Amino acid sequence: MTLVRPQPGTTFAVVGALAFAGCLIFGSADFSGDLANYASTAVALLAGVACLARAARLAGRLRLAWGAFGLGSLSYAVGEGTRTWTESIRGQEVPGPGLPDVGHLGMVLLIAVGLLFVPVPRQTIVNRVRNVIDALMIATSLLLISWIFVISPLFAQGSVASPAGSVALAYPVGDIILVTAALSMLALLRRGHPDTASLTLIAAAMLVIGVSGTIFAYAELSVGFIASEVPDIGWYLGFTLVFLGARRGAQQTEAHPAEPAGSRPFAILMPYAVVLSVLVFSIVWFAVHGHGDAFYSWCRSALILIIVARQLLTLLENRQLTATLESRVTTRTAELLASEQRSRALVSQSSDSVAVLEGDSTIRFQSDSVERIFGWPAQTLLGSRLIDIAGPQAGPVIAAALEEAGAEPYAVITVEVPLAHRDGRVRVAEMTITNLLGDPSVGGFVLNTRDVHDAHELQNQLVHEAYHDALTQLASRALFAEHLDEAMRVRPGPEVAVLFLDLDGFKEVNDSLGHAAGDHLLVQVAGRIRESARDGDTVARFGGDEFAVLVRSVVARADTEAVARRIVAAIGRPFIVMGRELHVSASIGIAVASEAADLQQLLRNADLAMYQAKTAGGGGWAGYHPRMHDLLVDRLALEADLRLALDRDEMVLHYQPTVDLRTGEVVGFEALVRWQHPVRGLVSPLDFIPAAEATGMIVQLGRWVLTQACRQAVAWARPVRMAVNVSVRQFDRDDLAETVAAVLAETGLPARRLCLEMTESVLMTDTEENLAQLRRIKALGVTLAMDDFGTGYSSLAYLRRYPMDILKIDRSFVQRLGGDSRDTALVRTIVDLGRSLGMETVAEGIELPQQLAALQTMGCDFAQGFLLSRPVPATEATHLLNAGLSSRLVFA
């Protein structure tokens, strides 16, 4: 059990009050009168000190308020003490007006001012005005009462005229001020104040002092005499309350947080209650005593006026409040309306149709958007069971989905079903079913349905695009890989083989006839491969001129070779593209799945085999052999070595003479590069020139050959012409003409003694740029030769357009000479063509005397070939130049 320690202030006040009461009841009149005086003086003194002490601990307006309370109490104590001292010690009446009156009225003034200083929460102007009106209302009512009981009798005595009388009048007026201030204070405090408890005590003290003062004055006036200690009860009680208020505040103010706003009704009704009770009382009084005067009437009229004013104010305030409220309600309503319209619009305009279904799929709600999406007005669907009207295909799917979603609250299931549009089309719809059966605001399945038909179509199209080659409609690499993967998974199963096919000479077609012609050709090639393959085989285009065939159920390798043979034959037949007859061939590589670890390796093997077929001259097939891997590794090693070959001085030039067919004299040499490899021995340019071209090494190598050849030509000191081969890749760089000029300047070889040989590919790729370069080289005075003429597709138009001086008839034509008369005719045509274009003709690869004889008869200008001389090192070439050809006999 906890002992509640009573506060010392309260104990003191209670003990004091008891002692005071005891004295009043049991003491003699004289003694108790003095005692009462001293007691109230002492309490006022204590209250004043307590208030000031409290003020010292506070700040701001509260400090001023408590200071005023303290000074007021002290003011009273001084006045009352002086009077008691004078009366009891000197035994004489104090004539008024004097210091006691000043003390008393000073107390009234100071405490009233103190109450004004009490800080209140911020208020609106209207509130402040109302507070003033309320105070006026209370004061007027009190004035009326005071008039009846005190003031009017004072006037009746006629003592008001004297100075002492007017001071006597000040007392009731002071009481009115105190009570008014106290009541107003109480009304304000009800609205919440951190210091409510202590301030309420102060207000109560003022009430007690004011009321008891008035009662005392009335008693004295009407009865004539009362015991002097009676009013002291009021003072004593009042200042005890002030003391308690000051003490209480000191102990609790800081600890208490702001109390919540009190009930407004008290603040509003209290002034009315005062007015009402006063009015009722005055009417009763008037009725009993039957007299009233002008002041009495004035007071009542003033009261009525004030009440009306207050009423008006309240009315105004209410109207303003209503207006604010109305506008807020209007705004909120508008907001709500807008948001509802938005959600309605969302439901009806969304690409989704929203529906709410009962447990058995009966449509309870259906958004209007369904009409826009599927053509059906929402009304026609309401009440029907969705699983009945969705159609034979969609119905069961939806039923199953509803059952699945129904099993778990808030489950969400999405299905795709075909739904009939009202116009008859069948559309793919995506339905999302949400189980809100347990949600009290929905109580059903929510169904969001979207038309995803177009998206589906697009998806299918995209898949088709990804899996098919747009040009040939064959399978794409992706689809081929998928089929191959499937076929390879069936193990043990039928053997699977891949044919990898690359066209020979396709680039030339594309370059010379344009891409449209190239595409045309590819479509026809695709058709022929398709025809050559069997029904179950997958034919794919991997891009460019690369094709692949997946051969399933291969009994033996021979089967696949049969397919390859058919393809080679089919492609060997001429194609008609844009009215022209074209000849292409195909190089095919064959690889079987049993020889590969996986799909990737199988494709690599087929690719390797194809490369092999191509290297062998094209127009045929090669089966994969593990040794091909070594060849590949070999090639890569060769490329690596090639990068170092020039620095290591491993390149050498051999020279093959060009002979005048009429005289048999050596008129020039063609420089042919060889690679003196430390391990491999002499490597043919056929084996490393492609690698040099692929790696870009050819530019460096080309310049080295050119310089070397020119130097040799100068060294020979005979007016022989030096022919140097130039790769089409050397034209990729813009500075070929500059390089040639620089080498000529460096070596001192006259430009006319240099001949640059190039194949038709130079004329067919990047034609405009290459033409410009050729013109610049030609402008140097260098001779230009068209190498390997007849193997490419260069048209006569090209020949006319390009500044070529020499036509070199390819070895393949020369070798056919002497046999078929048609071949002989062809070579003759070429020789005639060259002559008609003003070009010299050189026949390459003459191995047999009859070939030489035939060319002589045709009037071909020059000749090259093993029959005359193989390409030989420089020293031998020098010898040849000096001694002449041993095969000169042929010319005899």
Residues 362, 382 contacting (CB under 8 angstroms):
no
| Rounded-to-integer distance, Cα 63 and Cα 554, Å | 112
Which of 864, 874, 877, 885 is close enough to bind ligand C2E by CB under 6 A?
Answer: 864
Q: How many CB atoms lie within 10 A of CB 386?
A: 24
Q: Which is nearer to Ca ion, 114 or 668 (CB)?
A: 668
**Could you tell which of Ca ion, ligand C2E, none binds residue 204, using a CB distance below 5 to 8 A set by kind?**
none
DSSP string, 4-62: PPPPHHHHHHHHHHHHHHHHHHHS-HHHHHHHHHHHHHHHHHHHHHHHHHHHHH--HHH
Least Å from the CB of residue 494 to ligand C2E: 45
**Could you tell which of Ca ion, ligand C2E, none binds residue 727, using a CB distance below 5 to 8 A set by kind?**
ligand C2E
Residue with tokens 């009429």: 662
Q: Does 89 bind ligand C2E (CB under 6 A)?
A: no
Q: Which is nearer to ligand C2E, 233 or 689 (CB)?
A: 689
Write the interaction track for Ca ion spanning residues 752-791; mark x where CB under 5 A is met and - where it is not: -----x-----------------------------xx---
Q: Does 851 bind ligand C2E (CB under 6 A)?
A: no
Q: Interacting stretch for ligand C2E, rule CB under 6 A, among 222-230, 412-420, 428-436, 861-869?
A: 861-869
Q: Which is nearer to Ca ion, 175 or 788 (CB)?
A: 788
Q: Does 451 bind Ca ion (CB under 5 A)?
A: no
| Rounded-to-integer distance, Cα 259 and Cα 372, Å | 62
DSSP state of 362: B
Least Å from the CB of residue 870 to ligand C2E: 7
Tokens read off for 406: 């129904």
Least Å from the CB of residue 727 to Ca ion: 11
**Nearest Cα to 765, choosing from 510, 480, 477, 430?**
510
Which of 212, 366, 707, 725 is close enough to bind ligand C2E by CB under 6 A?
Answer: 725
**Could you tell which of ligand C2E, Ca ion, none binds residue 686, using a CB distance below 5 to 8 A set by kind?**
ligand C2E
Least Å from the CB of residue 777 to ligand C2E: 15
Give the dihedral of Cα atoms 506, 510, 511, 516; nearest 10 deg. 170
| Rounded-to-integer distance, Cα 786 and Cα 784, Å | 7
Q: Which is nearer to Ca ion, 527 or 685 (CB)?
A: 685
Write the interaction track for ligand C2E spanning residues 655-684; mark x where CB under 6 A is met and - where it is not: -x---------------xx----------x
Site for Ca ion in 800-859 (CB under 5 A): 844
Least Å from the CB of residue 769 to Ca ion: 22
Half-sphere exposure of 88 (CA within 13 A, CB side): 17
Find all residues with CB under 8 Å of 332, minimum gap 6, and list them: none
| Rounded-to-integer distance, Cα 671 and Cα 724, Å | 5
Q: Does 645 bind ligand C2E (CB under 6 A)?
A: no
Q: Which is nearer to ligand C2E, 410 or 866 (CB)?
A: 866
Q: Does 656 bind Ca ion (CB under 5 A)?
A: no
| Rounded-to-integer distance, Cα 724 and Cα 727, Å | 10
Least Å from the CB of residue 687 to ligand C2E: 9
Least Å from the CB of residue 761 to ligand C2E: 11
Least Å from the CB of residue 746 to ligand C2E: 18
Find all residues with CB under 8 Å of 496, minimum gap 6, and list them: 484, 487, 488, 550, 551, 552, 554, 592, 593, 602
Q: Interacting stretch for ligand C2E, rule CB under 6 A, among 479-487, 519-527, 640-648, 843-851?
A: 843-851
Q: Which is nearer to ligand C2E, 139 or 723 (CB)?
A: 723
Write the interaction track for Ca ion spanning residues 719-748; mark x where CB under 5 A is met and - where it is not: ------x-----------------------
Find all residues with CB under 8 Å of 70, minimum gap 6, and list them: 47, 48, 49, 50, 51, 52, 53, 54, 55, 246
| Rounded-to-integer distance, Cα 510 and Cα 134, Å | 107
DSSP string, 577-635: ETTEEE--EEEEEEEEGGG-SSHHHHHHHHHHHHHHHHHTTSSEEEE--THHHHHHHHH
Q: Which is nearer to ligand C2E, 685 or 818 (CB)?
A: 685
Which of 178, 390, 603, 705 is close enough to bind ligand C2E by CB under 6 A?
Answer: 705
Site for ligand C2E in 768-797 (CB under 6 A): 787-788
Least Å from the CB of residue 846 to ligand C2E: 6
Least Å from the CB of residue 808 to ligand C2E: 8
| Rounded-to-integer distance, Cα 180 and Cα 183, Å | 5
Q: How many CB atoms lie within 10 A of CB 633?
A: 10
Each residue of 287-303: b (16+ CB within 10 Å) or e?
eeeeeeeeebeebbeeb
| Rounded-to-integer distance, Cα 555 and Cα 535, Å | 16
Site for ligand C2E in 441-470 (CB under 6 A): none
Each residue of 358-369: b (16+ CB within 10 Å) or e?
eeebbbebbbeb
- Name the site residues for Ca ion (rule: CB under 5 A): 725, 757, 787-788, 844
Q: Which residues bind ligand C2E (CB under 6 A)?
A: 656, 672-673, 684-686, 689, 705, 725-727, 757, 787-788, 811, 845-847, 864-866, 871
